[in-house]
Amino acid sequence: MNQQQYTLKEEEPHLVVDQGGLIQSSNIKCGELFGYSCMEVMEQPITMLIPEFASGGKDSSAYNGKIGITKNGAPIVLSYHVYPFSLIDMSFYMVVIKNQMERSTENQLLVQSQIKLTNLEKVLQQSLGELYDLKFAIDESSIVAITNPKGIITYVNDKFCEISKYSKEDLIGQTHRMINSGHHSFQFFQELWKTISAGRVWKGEIKNKAKDGSYYWVDTTIVPFLRGETPYQYLAIRNEITKRKKVEEQLKNLLTKVINLQEEERRFLSRELHDQIGQKLYSLLIHVNYLKSTTSENTVIDQVEADISNLIEDIREISWQLRPSVLDDLGLIPAIRSFITRFSKFYHIKVTFTSAVSRRLEPYIETTIYRIAQESLTNIRKYADVKEASVHIGEDDNDLFMTIIDKGKGFNLEEISRNVGLTSMEERADSIGANLIIQSEVGKGTKIELNIPKFTLIEKGEK
């Protein structure tokens, strides 16, 4: 060594490293310390033995409390001294190593701490890797946004930008009002915020408006992230369902057309029975009365007269069941009141009817409400085993609603099969964008509630 003089001791682990950090030679003691043979470390980087190795440049340098890694991966505490030297115009470093593991309990604790730290780092790296994989999977499959507790957007993924037509720069720092379509009521979003602010997950379908003015639907799940019981941010995961909603809308329109056709057919048959067949039977009854007045033997004629009168009543009842003319002529409220009067008279069930709605509605809305009331009372007659029931029609700022209540037998909603009547009621409600809620408990009765959002009435063309 022509730059630094050092007397090597064979019992000291040492090795020679070139300027590139590759090991050129090592002694037996070095192999014993790290567990490698001399040949195994030849031309290998010294960082495989001392990960944080530093040469110190042209001057000799000493380093204490460094961590070395043995062949089996175990960490050891060591110090090393680096001596630069030249040989045939080539520069090398002599690295003399001292094992500090045996010097104190402190070093033992240091190694144990290092082992724990290394293990924690591995677990952390694995967890971060799993989180990255999960984020990648969600970003590739879903529309993702994160907001702070005030609803300010702090993160959106590429799919959010793709569907909304807004850039990340447009969205970050704004609220979701940017994509509000105006389809949902204020109360809809008020209930959403009430749910997530309480730390509960909200799920639902939302119609949004893109930057270019187009509309799209998303199936949304909003998850609050909590510190204690207080949300500190919200994660919204959405999946586009625009095509599905269009198909549903087409099916709903088709169902509405079918229902309207059925009602038109009912109206036609009702009118025909009342105006044609009914009138002809009245004419026949007049002739029978005339015949009765011209003969003394009236027994057979009396029977014919009675049969015709009964037939007229039957046809009148069928005509009324098909389509009460009062529904078309006077509207929903008089029609339901008329139906309840006849219903109570025939089946001896007292039905209390109240209404806070006096104006006329669109014919298909009136028909839907009437048919659901009719079917509900029919089910009460068949299954509830009661002598009283109530029907109420009202409205508030958000909905037009009808509630029908009985205190009869009730039923288990999970066990009952969906009969034709219940299915028909649900289909009719769905055809006008209404929500039908059925609540029932065995031994306590049943409540049926029909809610028609007012924005639906406006969309459908309410006058």
pLDDT value of residue 393: 95
Tell me how far apart the alpha carbons of residues 425 and 407 are, in angstroms, rounded to a whole number: 20
The answer on pLDDT for 38 being more than 70 is yes
pLDDT value of residue 3: 46
| Greatest C-alpha distance within the chain | 157
The answer on pLDDT for 103 being more than 90 is no
- Collapsing DSSP states into helix, strand and coil, what is residue 307? helix
Question: How buried is 50 (Cβ within 10 angstroms: 0-12 exposed, 13-18 middle, 19+ buried)?
Answer: buried
Q: Is the alpha carbon torsion for 326, 327, 331, 335 positive or negative?
A: positive
In this prediction, residue 455 has a pLDDT band, given cuts at 50, 70 and 90, of: low
The answer on pLDDT for 80 being more than 50 is yes
Q: Quick one: what percent of the chain has pLDDT higher than 70?
A: 89
Q: Average the pLDDT over each of 218-232, 277-291, 300-314 and give the range with the smallest value.
A: 277-291
Residue environment code for 380-395, b if the CB has 16+ CB neighbours within 10 A, otherwise e: bbebbebeebebebeb
Question: How buried is 147 (Cβ within 10 angstroms: 0-12 exposed, 13-18 middle, 19+ buried)?
Answer: buried
User: And the tokens for 200?
Assistant: 């509960």
In this prediction, residue 275 has a pLDDT band, given cuts at 50, 70 and 90, of: low
Element (H, E) at 435: strand 435-441
Phi, psi of 265 (to 5 degrees): -65, -40
One-letter amino acid at 39 equals M
β-strand partners of 225: 233
Mean pLDDT, residues 249-267: 79
pLDDT value of residue 462: 43
- Tens of pLDDT along 359-404? 888 888 898 999 899 899 989 998 899 999 999 999 888 789 999 9
β-strand partners of 438: 448
β-strand partners of 437: 449
| Helical ranges in 102-208 per DSSP H | 105-141, 158-164, 168-171, 186-197
Using the structure block, give the residue that is written with the tokens 């946004």: 145
Mean pLDDT, residues 145-171: 95
Asked whether 370 and 407 are in contact (CB, 8 A), the reply is no
User: And the tokens for 167?
Assistant: 């850039």
Asked whether 18 and 90 are in contact (CB, 8 A), the reply is yes
